[in-house]
Structure 1
Amino acid sequence: MSLKNPAALEFLQTRRSRPAKTLVAPAPTRDELLPLLMAAARSPDHGKLEPWRFIVLEKGAMPRLSALTQEFGATLGKTPEEIAKARSQFDMGHLAVAVIEVQKPSEKVPAIEQTYSAGAVCLALLNAALAAGWGANWLSGWQTHNPRFCQKAFGLKDNERVVGLVHIATEGATPPERPRPDVATLTEWVSA
């Protein structure tokens, strides 16, 4: 039987993302980020395929990604508001980790399970950052779902896609608590 860890359970029951717009400098250093990436890499991974990888976007990369978002937004006919919202995560970003799903051929592990594993990595990274005392937020956006943008921005291959951009920096203002799901109404018990 596993040992109980009440502190970890309390953390998971009370954790909450910090809006990216409230994150301020400093962001984690490379040495501070590495243990968070190691924690994220312990996510469920059926078949030990490692169907994901990380691209760390440091502060210096943010202006390029913002400009690229502007360029693609105009080409795709996005409204100025849609472009501004998409750019904002890069305009205000200090550090983000792009979690990249890497689909790998497997007779035993379906593609959807590889997608689930990559999503689990995003959540694990988010929780590791929060547990380490950082503010963190998992974002995406229309640009991260556009294969041409992702190829130009991140050099992705045909079997890769962005699962999320996990922004990590110092927590600025603490946002108010938001309503949480009523688990009792979402749960069905089956006993036979």
Structure 2
Amino acid sequence: MDALELLLHRRSQPRLKAPAPKGEVLENIMQAALRAPDHAALTPWRFIICEESGLQKLGALFEQSAIDNGKSEKEIERAPQLPLRAPMVIVAIAKYTENAKVPRIEQVASASCAVMAMQMAAIAQGFNGIWRSGAYAQCDVVREGLRVGEEDEIVGFLYLGTPAFDTPIAPARNSADYFERLI
């Protein structure tokens, strides 16, 4: 798949099955993350790969979060199953470093770029994924369980695996609805 085709037809895939990326394919995905824009070479990222028992541990954190936050019984029951929707979940964390030239928002944006780069690398190699965030990314139970620093931010959970079905191509959007020229 050529790079332009990849970018123009990128689409998240919520239905994922085994196998997960591994070996050289996974290394390519990790290396793609490390090529994200990085002003002042701060390397403002940290990634946690969850597979097998790691998915269970992440699910346990989600479950404890649901309990501690007074969620419904249904949500508490569902919480430990959430990471099991894919054979691999990569937790992406923006690791903040105070820097006069690189504001916090730019460091979070860098970590976010790394997530997209990982998904693109996965798709380019025949896998796919979906980037999820939500309340668990902001919850202290999850943050503490993953040793996320007070100033750091979980930018998302990248679910990766083999697409369970072909991902349909989304219709193109009209760029004029989103772009304007400053003259």
Query: By the TM > 0.5 criterion, same fold?
Result: yes
| Alignment pair present for 1:58 and 2:81 | no
The structure-2 alpha-carbon separation of the partners of 1:47 and 1:29, relative to structure 1 and needing over 3 Å to count, comes to same
Match of 1:11 in 2: 6
What TM-score does the superposition give when structure 1 sets the normalisation length? 0.86
Distance (whole Å) between structure 1 residues aligned to residue 78 and residue 180 of structure 2:
38
**8 Å CA contact retained: 1:86, 1:142:** no
What TM-score does the superposition give when structure 2 sets the normalisation length? 0.89
Match of 2:116 in 1: 123
Name structure 2 gaps, 5 residues minimum. Answer: none
Letter in 2 for 1:139: R
Alignment: residue pair count = 183
Distance (whole Å) between structure 2 residues aligned to residue 150 and residue 127 of structure 1:
26
Match of 1:48 in 2: 41
Q: Using the aligned pairs only, state the percent identity.
A: 32
| Structure 1 residue 144, shift from structure 2 partner | 1.5
Q: 2:156 aligns to what SS in structure 1?
A: strand
Distance (whole Å) between structure 2 residues aligned to residue 146 and residue 162 of structure 1:
10
Name structure 1 gaps, 5 residues minimum. Answer: 1-5
**8 Å CA contact retained: 1:86, 1:141:** no
CA RMSD after TM alignment: 2.0
Letter in 1 for 2:50: L
Distance (whole Å) between structure 2 residues aligned to residue 120 and residue 44 of structure 1:
7
Match of 2:96 in 1: 103
Runs of 4+ in 1 over 6 A off after TM superposition: none
Distance (whole Å) between structure 1 residues aligned to residue 173 and residue 52 of structure 2:
35
